[in-house]
Chain A
């Protein structure tokens, strides 16, 4: 014991030192942004995601992340470093996500988060929102066998909901409006919520409709569950950064816009290389040249490499590709584009001009 007591402290101290501090950020470009230079100095982007939601962010058996939210992170990493894999993912549950962002724990929150006034405002959660990447609405799913077709049918029944979400508040509001008594069963994480629903503890589960559809595909018998026609709310799912760093928010905003714009211009992962070559060869394609960074200094204005757009598109493809791959026809979710079509096709996806 004596010997033990004597030789313990030294290695402990060393271990403590090793474990110690995270690296500080280095210096970046001419743009004054603490966050941007910190991220660039670190060499990786720290991105907060859900981690357990098929289609949006999900860990496969090989340990890699995939999904629409994940592709936003990858796109930003590609814009910053030219490498979409330089991302560190943090699985966050809905109750800890804002604190993680506010304390500087994560650089970017891409976790199916609804944009609201109180979350945006400085007096509220003080977030800064990028363009919405998925327009959604809150829905309710019930087992077909329950025979419930309206919200009124849920009177007196237990409803499963994830705590700390706008969903929880919307549910309370809507049910109060309709004067329908109900029992909200709240869980910390989505997986527990759906486990309780599938276990038959609640006769309904409520969440964003896309999330419900995504989860339904993973059920043993997807056809045994139906989404009620009621849409309880608007849920614009949007990546967010902190309010206090505008240049960093700009980087995220315009990376997302680049995804939208690329789809509008017909640039894809497959043709981006040829398109860049084309733009370089042909000085008349001014719009395309500016967009791809062949001409002008849009990248530099943001504090990014001049050719950040081609890097982003080469890494994840345009918005349409991202959508189709993760939640659209090429995925098990098979969601309709709906409101998430390009504005030219009557949807809400719209990028301000790159000029």
Chain B
């Protein structure tokens, strides 16, 4: 207690100037937080979120097909619980493996709290509330099970676990869009958070290989390759995303033979991909620049071909260095999906605008925008946290050489 007081004094009241500043800031903060709380609890009318929660979540996705999304969510949640537990069951060699580190306990507590509070706050019907609880239970249960039993699983099985994710992504595509015997749901009916996450994840996954290729092209010794990459990268980086998106919507149709242009939603997703690839290329390029030339020379002198050296020696190091910058790009890509609302697609912000045009909810701007802000903040902050964790895991200083 005493040390806390001492620390407070040191941090806030070290000099008279600091003390004045601290008091002023504290007063301002109290006022602002008080005002915000009063507004959120008393004045704000959250009915607009409650009544439209389905629209915000999936847009106009047909109600009778929504079981597919529930199935997908449970699959994702299951895979997440499994991977999480296995990560803890197989700790890195240099750490003692705590089965339930403090972070995990906090996370589980938060999840359980959210799973109870959110469905209640959104005023969801009993059945749907129960589903959310089931999902939370599935996550925590699998986490517990995999954490406990995972250490004794056969290694061959463990090797297959990372493959679950790409498989799940493909399954998700089929579940969402239909095909392979599942009824089709046209992309124009996807919306809300579903569309936001889908377009962002699609663009993130595809821009990665494209960006790496462009970065390699830009550093290539072949002039044609280099110039093509440079022109592409600089052209894309020179144009505002919104002009490119409108270009995609209005001119794409002219660039392809009649009727071959992909769906509007896919067009936007492709534009996002091409856009992000140029930025990602720059991030990867800085990573490539950080790999000492000696590494390539050493690899070559070991008899590795150029391609092999690139694949096994250069890229792993470069990507590790570029990881923070790349995740930064992914985060801004997720944020950039809001621009889809400007071209009339009903992602989160687009849905918000439709909802606010509804006579019942006219003028509920503050509630809707704040909710979206919190949602985006959580998604982006989670991406940032994940990247930092991955960075630590990949840091050569903490990974003992095997």
Contacts and interface: CB of A to CB of B under 8 A. Distances in A.
B320 interface: yes
Contact of B188 (A90, A100, A102): A90
Interface in B261-310: 261-264, 266, 269
B231 to A, nearest CB: 23
Interface stretch (A19-27, A144-152, A173-181, A307-315): A19-27
B51 interface: yes
B232 interface: no
Contacts, number: 146
Contacts of A96: 246, 249-250, 343-344
Given A19-B202, A22-B259, A89 B188 contact: yes
B269 A91 contact: no
Given A18-B179, A93-B344, A105-B261, A5 B316 contact: yes
Nearest to B350: A91
A15 B173 contact: yes
Contact of A8 (B205, B357, B359): B205
Contacts of A59: 60, 354
A61 B264 contact: no
Contacts of B195: none
A348 interface: no
Contact of A21 (B167, B173, B260, B312): B260
B262 A21 contact: yes
B316 A2 contact: yes
A241 to B, nearest CB: 15
A125 to B, nearest CB: 13
B166 A19 contact: no
B344 A91 contact: yes
Interface residues on B, range: 35 or more
A217 B362 CA distance: 12
A34 interface: yes
A244 to B, nearest CB: 11
Given A1-B316, A8-B209, A190-B357, A19 B262 contact: yes
Given A61-B55, A89-B188, A191-B357, A104 B205 contact: no
A207 to B, nearest CB: 14
A104 B258 contact: yes
B221 to A, nearest CB: 22
Contacts of B319: 1, 5
Given A22-B261, A195-B363, A62 B63 contact: yes
A99 interface: yes
Contact of B166 (A11, A25, A103, A191): A11
A88 B166 CA distance: 30
A283 to B, nearest CB: 44
Contacts of B132: none
A143 interface: no
Contact of B344 (A22, A92, A220): A92
A92 B342 CA distance: 10
B170 A11 contact: yes
A123 B178 CA distance: 42
Nearest to B365: A195
A59 to B, nearest CB: 6
B347 to A, nearest CB: 12
A99 B61 CA distance: 26
Contact of B253 (A15, A89, A104, A194): A104
Nearest to A93: B344
A7 B166 contact: yes
A184 B331 CA distance: 37
B162 interface: yes
Given A99-B253, A191-B356, A195-B363, 13 more contacts: A5-B311, A15-B173, A18-B170, A18-B173, A19-B202, A22-B262, A22-B263, A63-B55, A63-B189, A103-B251, A105-B249, A190-B357, A194-B357
30 contacts: A1-B394, A7-B162, A8-B205, A8-B209, A9-B209, A11-B169, A11-B205, A12-B209, A15-B205, A18-B173, A18-B174, A20-B262, A22-B259, A24-B260, A54-B359, A62-B63, A63-B55, A63-B59, A63-B61, A88-B189, A90-B344, A96-B249, A96-B343, A99-B249, A99-B250, A100-B250, A102-B253, A105-B261, A191-B353, A220-B362
- Shortest Cβ-Cβ A-B pairs, 6 listed: A103-B253, A218-B359, A63-B60, A11-B166, A191-B357, A99-B250
